[in-house]
A and B are shown apart, each in its own frame.
Chain A
Amino acid sequence: MAANPMTQFEVYRIGPEIKVGSFDISFTNASLFMIISSLAILIIFNLGSKKNSLLPNKIQLLAELSYTFVSKMISDTAGSKGKPYFSFIFSLFMFVLFSNMFGMIPYTFTVTSHIIVTFVLAAFIFIGVTVIGFIKHGLGYLKLFVPSGVPIVLLPLIIIIEIISYLSRPISLSVRLFANMMAGHTMMKVFGGFVISLGIVGGWLPLSFSVALTGLEILVAFLQAYVFAILTCIYLNDALNLHH
């Protein structure tokens, strides 16, 4: 094998080392792609919101369809109470989607294929949702761990399970996205490596696989962004509309 399939995930410094205290906050390729994704989102949606014609042009249509898509997603899962969190969910969905999609371009870096990035997002969501839950319902939010209609005998067990499942939310949320992106990109890299190593004679099969995988990965890129956003909505729904 010419290249290790994991080298694509390596983070390296671009420019000088920047240190704040003992923390290294150097500008890296990961930072670069975070900025590229954010900028792309801002540019596209800025263009899409500039003019308001009764008959929208393509970019305006794109922006407005994304808006209604996310808006509908929130109202379907969290109801009308989820409206104040629309901007956050929209930014989250777009950031993850654009990071995933930029990762699909060869020789780019996939921001969301790093567990630390997805974990920070997931942890922020987890903490935020928990805080919102306690603000809205006070200690009553703990009722989330006590499902109604469960026999008393089973209750201790159920509560423990509920608490574990609640606490594992940030881990499952972050690992789901990270593992999907990493596995997909690694697979593509591996098949790409096969094309080279098998040469002109046998390389066609892995090449066709590679092509198919690219399509699949684009789907996965969208799907994982969607799943990430909709799970956030569901967690938010638990915090906003407490009904167990």
Chain B
Amino acid sequence: MVKKIFFQLIFFNLFFLKEVFAAESGGMPQLNPEFWISQIFWLTLTFGVLYIVLSKLILPKISANLELRKSQIQENIEAAEKQRESSEAKLKEYDDIISKSKLEANNIFKEARENVIKEINVKKETLDKQIDEEVKKVEQEINLLKKGASEKINKIAIVTTSELLVKLIGTEVNNSSISAIVDDLSKRNGDKYYGD
């Protein structure tokens, strides 16, 4: 209700300005020209001062601050970019060094292995030769022993056989006949007893 009346008032006031001035107390104070000049004066003064101070003192500072920050950030970004590049280059260098040293290490290792293998081979060969020589010597000795052994065994066999025969029969048998039998036996079965 009150609101309705109020809005009606506004509309009437807008359309009948004269009435507003007449009924000033109930109308819009905005349309009362009493303080218009004062308002215009103070508006001009305050807004003028505001404009001058803002445009001459404050806004240039803010603008400069913003520019400075922009350039600083730009510089920082550039510096960071440079550092990144240098660190990348260093990383590459490092990688190169590592791969080179790896290769070198490999080479050294290979060389060392080859050397060792060569040495081993040489030593092995000499050792093999020595062993072969010794084996030959030993084989010769064995062969000598083998040859000697069969004669000695034959002699022992002859002596023991003659002694056994003396004890068994009581008569001495001719050694030459026993040796003939032993020789015959050893020739037939020699392979069985001594191998080759």
Contact = CB atoms under 8 A, between A and B. Distances in A.
| Listed residue (A94, A117, A178) with the most chain B CB atoms within 10 angstroms of its CB | A117
Tell me the dominant secondary structure on chain A's binding face. helix
Given A11-B39, A23-B37, A48 B46 contact: no
A25 B42 contact: yes
Interface residues of B, number: 43
B35 A90 contact: no
B37 to A, nearest CB: 5
Nearest to B35: A11
Given A35-B46, A114-B30, A88 B51 contact: yes
Given A28-B42, A42-B54, A48 B62 contact: yes
Interface in B17-44: 26-32, 34-44
Interface stretch (B65-73, B133-141, B162-170): B65-73
B54 A49 contact: no
Contacts of B6: 5, 186, 190
B107 interface: no
A80 interface: no
A234 to B, nearest CB: 20
Contacts of B30: 9, 113-116, 178, 182
Given A90-B54, A91-B54, A64 B49 contact: no
A148 interface: no
Given A25-B42, A30-B35, A113-B30, A90 B59 contact: yes
- The winner among A13, A67, A94 for most chain B CB atoms within 10 A is A67
Contact of A30 (B3, B39, B51): B39
B42 A31 contact: yes
Contacts of B29: 6-7, 9-11
Interface string A103-130: 0000000010111110011000000000
B62 A67 contact: yes
Contact of A91 (B10, B36, B51): B51
Contacts of A30: 35, 38-39, 42
Interface string B129-171: 0000000000000000000000000000000000000000000
B137 to A, nearest CB: 95
The winner among A13, A86, A95 for most chain B CB atoms within 10 A is A95
Q: Which 5 A-B pairs have the closest CB atoms?
A: A87-B55, A31-B42, A49-B61, A34-B46, A52-B65
30 contacts: A7-B29, A9-B30, A11-B29, A11-B39, A25-B38, A28-B39, A31-B42, A31-B46, A35-B46, A38-B47, A38-B49, A42-B54, A45-B62, A46-B57, A49-B62, A54-B73, A67-B66, A90-B54, A91-B47, A91-B50, A91-B51, A95-B47, A114-B39, A115-B31, A116-B39, A117-B43, A120-B43, A121-B47, A186-B6, A193-B2
